[in-house]
Amino acid sequence: MSHQNICALYARVSSPKQAKDCTIDSQIQALKERIVSDGGQLIDDMVFSDAGVSGATLIRPELERLRDAISIGAVDHLYIHSPDRLSRKYAHQALLMEEFASAGVVVNFLNHKVGTSPEEEMLLQMQGMFAEYERAKIIERHRRGKLHRARVGSVNVLSGAPYGYRYTRKQLDGKPAQYVIDLEQAKTVRQIFNWIGVDRLSIGAVCRRLGEANIPTKTGKSHWDRSVVWSMLQNPAYMGKAAFGKTKAGALMPRVRPQKHSAETPKKPHSTHRVQRKDWIEIPVPPIVSQPLYEAVQAQLDENRKRARVGERGAKHLLQGLTVCGHCHYAYYGKRVSPSTAKGKFQYAYYRCIGTDAYRFGGQRICDNSQVRTQTLDELVWAEVINALENPERLKKEYERRLNVLEKKEHERHDITALKQQKAQLKKGASRLIDSYASDVIDQQDFEPKIKQIKARITEIEEQIEQGDQSQSAQRELFLVINHLEEFAKTINVNLSTTDFITKRDTIRALVKRVEIYKEEVVVIFRIDPTPSHSVSSGPAIPGRFETPIESIR
């Protein structure tokens, strides 16, 4: 090997424990020794190591840096311990090996000779498939191992000790891992259960009492969120029966609208589902509250839920789940004016921004947006939905638009395919350009602007391909909505103004994506494209602190 050739090495371990045990250091040392024996040149900047990163993904910081270096021709020889250190997935191995080869990089594995014959290529591919198979076996063994440990009562399969307990690891003398009661926190747990089960307080009242008593949460925060208290009250560990397998990954559940700070299209292709209580695996732990008190709390929570559904304060709202603040992006929820505030007057219901509730954020509001009267907003939004459903011409145009989009989608698929082919050609061109530069056919002055131009074009094409892929999920949602339009038009009564509440709510949710409430206007975002944006001039202005009606619909 010529001393002019620049070498790089790549090492990877999957778990933080392996990284801590210096397993990755042994890989790097072995690779350095091999490079020296081959007469190669290694500089510090060419050592790429991903510690504690799974080999099942290509999104690894050091691998990304390595690929960038290879793309600009900065590497001649790459040393890796074994194919499974490069990737656990055969498809990823093949992709990376092809990418490295197209850039003129010679890949060397310590335990495997890389050749160019069909037999040697097949052997490498088989190694990749076996590595992927081995990973699947490890995952399955891990799952079955956790299941077995849960069935024999081991607490180390649980995610961590809840408030009121401390988790102690397995001891050297063989004493198993266990939950140990934290006496100070246990007092708070018993107090919370007594407030609900004996005093019959609401969860909101419990949160306020905890704040007034300056009792910190498990993470040291002064503010207790309702969801935290609710989860504690639902946890059977407090009566001595910790549960394993309460949730599982399953089919992606539809959402009325994305939650705050979440993407329109979920990053994970699955949702977390609750498992029936009879299928939980109970693990005995020291109890903090008695079983009768725990069951009394569950009965009280059920009663609170039923009361909320049928009581006046639990009134139904057409737009519940769709309304969102245009400023802080928290949801709006339906709420009636309390009798003491109304002072004998008619009690109106309002949509109110969660961000304006100081008690939810430790006594400090995070938003000053105004509340909106529910009746007026419901009527205005429903009027727009009626307008969409009562216009046969609009339905016809929407149906025709669906056909056009379907045809356009087919063209876009071909366009994306063409873009991918163009990207492959550019990469080949870049590889040839690098070869020309390495062979002194062209000088650095000619090479750098050309390779920069090619890389910029590749980046542009990759962005176009990504945009095309992201639009597919949105298109699928659009097709589902449009497919229901004609069904809505047929099944809903001719007199839409007298339609029952459930039908109204389901129809609105099918056609309206969300309702954004701002200080000066309310914007309705439709899932479909209605007629061009226009102002709603009919009807009174929105009461309360709003001075204008819905000013734009898009």
Q: For the packed helices 291-310 and 226-234, what is the interaxial angle rounded to 10 degrees?
A: 130
CA 394 from centre of chain: 36
Q: How many whole angstroms separate alpha carbon 34 and alpha carbon 412? A: 49
Q: Where are the alpha helices (DSSP H) in 16-158?
A: 16-20, 23-37, 61-71, 83-86, 90-102, 118-151
Question: Which residues are CB-neighbours of 46 under 8 A, at least 6 positions away?
Answer: 6, 7, 8, 9, 69, 74, 75
Catalytic residue of the set 14, 49, 370, 431: 14
Instruction: Give percent helix, percent strand, percent coil of the chain, each to the nearest 5.
Output: 50, 15, 35
Q: How many whole angstroms separate alpha carbon 360 and alpha carbon 364? A: 8
Q: Where are the alpha helices (DSSP H) in 439-541?
A: 444-491, 501-511
Contact 229, 192 (CB under 8 A): yes
Q: Which residues pair with 166 in a beta bridge?
A: 180
Q: Which residues pair with 106 in a beta bridge?
A: 77
Q: Is 14 a catalytic residue?
A: yes
- The residue assigned the tokens 């089960």 is 197
Tokens of 369: 């947006």
Name the CA radius of gyration of the chain, rounded: 31
Residues annotated catalytic, as ranges:
14
